[in-house]
Amino acid sequence: MAVNVECIKALALQNIILSSEFTADNGDWTKGTGWTVDAGNSNRADAVAATGSLSQTVAPLTSGISYRTRIIVGATGADKIVVVCGTQAGTARGSGNFYEDIAANGTGYSIRPATVGEGGTGVFTGWVDSALAVALRETFSFSGFGTPKAATFESAGGVVDVESSGGAISFGLTDGTRQYCVMGGSESGVTTSDSYRRISNTGCIGFVSSSDGTIQELGSFHSFTTDSVTINWMAGGTFIGINGIGLPLNITLFGGSDLSAYAIDVTSHPVKLNAVTVTPGFLVDNVCVLTHGSLTAFNTTGDGMKLGVGFADRGSATFISLNMLSTDNVATTDIRNLVASAAAASQPSDGPAITIGTGQEAVTVSKSSST
């Protein structure tokens, strides 16, 4: 049987600007009139009445791709600077920490004084402490795989092998036509618990803020090509990793001439014991289930983290699911985990379980109680 399955361990949203924290004056930056790099002291790029640009010596961008940029600026008076991707200039900035998405129309990256017409003075005195950029379209590849037919995506945010405060998790999938993901976040060190959940049918991986539930990041499926999957990151997101290190992302590719994949939502089925049957048009061997444990609509954040990821094989002989619940807005933290062996999705002490029965070319989803 020709079925291919391979895993990719990746860092997404990784900063591509060299010496972006100005800790070395090693030639990565070309310094125009008025610019210096104070490496080893203030670790920043300083400008005194600068009229030239501070540019990456080796052009790092791809024309036609949008980039999320972040820059930390200290400006004197009315002086401002702009970030330029190719020749496309961003917004004039004074002092502060700024994120901006810029569509590159060339390969160069530079920082220059804002002109009078852009809201600046045409010169710049001040400093730049950090300059980062990440591509908002990324391709992840496994050499020799062939063209994938489906993919799953998993991440817990943070930095690989480094413990971080609070809880964040996301799991998603795509069959190349449809995509779904669940995500949740739970804040740490607060008097009253603060946690949120979200399910999306416009993205395959994403994160919500653990402090207010706003969507922080969403990656959407773009395409499958030979050996690769490409995703687009949302406009207006604020994730550029920690110091530009990147977002840890595990991707599993599924392909081969004997593999078929089909993704669908069954959120419209009745709340009680009624079942819904899906007929993808091929013999079903395995099923993966994503749930966020409530009737909260797609692409809407709900209070409390209720997430489940489960699996079932043909004939429902084997079930396994991993489930988490974190109650929102309570004085005593209430966080629970459940590994369920009798359902493809379940919530600890909250809501019904979901079981799946597979036939020749059908998947039946039903709830085990009327809760």
Calculate the alpha carbon distances from 319 to 135, 154, 271 in Å.
39, 20, 22
Sign of the CA dihedral 122, 125, 126, 129? positive
Q: What gap in Å lies between CA 294 and CA 351, rounded to an integer?
A: 8
Q: Which residue in the block uniquely carries the two structure tokens 């070395």?
A: 24
**Cα–Cα distance, 78 to 98 (Å, whole number):** 17
The secondary structure element, H or E, covering residue 262 is none
Can you give the pTM of this predicted structure?
A: 0.88
- Distance (Å, whole) CA 9 – CA 173: 16
Q: Which of 310, 313, 332 is nearest to 321 (CA)?
A: 310
The answer to whether residues 151 and 252 touch, using CB atoms and an 8 Å cutoff, is: yes
The Cα 351–Cα 63 span in angstroms is 49
Instruction: Name every residue whose Cβ is closer than 8 Å to that of residue 74 and which is 6 or more positions away in sequence.
Output: 95, 126, 127, 128, 129
Structure tokens, 217: 């990041």
Strand spans (E) along 226-361: 228-233, 247-255, 275-278, 286-291, 302-303, 305-313, 319-326, 335-340, 354-358
196-223: burial string, b at 16+ Cβ within 10 Å, e else: bbbbbeebbbbbbbbeebebbbbbbbee
Inter-residue contact 196 to 210 (CB < 8 Å)? yes
Q: Cα–Cα distance between 238 and 219 in angstroms, integer?
A: 13
User: What is the C-alpha to C-alpha distance for residues 342 and 153, in angstroms, rounded to an integer?
Assistant: 24
> Cβ–Cβ contacts within 10 Å for residue 275, how many?
14
| 320 DSSP β-pair partners | 311
Containing 126, the helix (H) or strand (E) segment is strand 124-135
Q: Alpha-carbon distance 8 to 249, whole Å?
A: 8
CB 295 within 8 A of CB 371: no
Enumerate domains of the chain plus CATH numbers: 29-135 (2.60.120), 140-367 (no CATH)
pLDDT digit of tens for each residue in the chain (371 aa)?
Answer: 589 999 999 999 999 999 999 999 999 999 999 999 998 888 999 999 999 999 999 999 999 999 999 999 999 999 999 999 999 999 999 999 999 999 999 999 999 999 999 999 999 999 999 999 999 999 999 999 999 999 999 998 777 777 766 778 899 999 999 999 999 888 877 788 888 889 999 999 998 888 888 888 999 999 999 999 999 999 888 776 545 678 889 999 999 999 999 998 876 444 445 677 888 888 888 888 888 876 678 888 888 888 888 888 876 566 788 887 788 887 877 777 888 887 777 777 655 667 677 666 777 777 654 33
First-to-last alpha carbon distance for the chain, in angstroms, is 42
* Angle CA 213–216–222, to nearest 5: 130
Taking the C-alpha atoms of residue 359 and residue 361, their distance in angstroms, rounded to an integer, is: 6
How far from chain centre, in Å, is Cα 243? Answer: 16
Count other C-beta atoms under 10 Å from residue 117's C-beta: 8
Contact 93, 103 (CB under 8 A): no
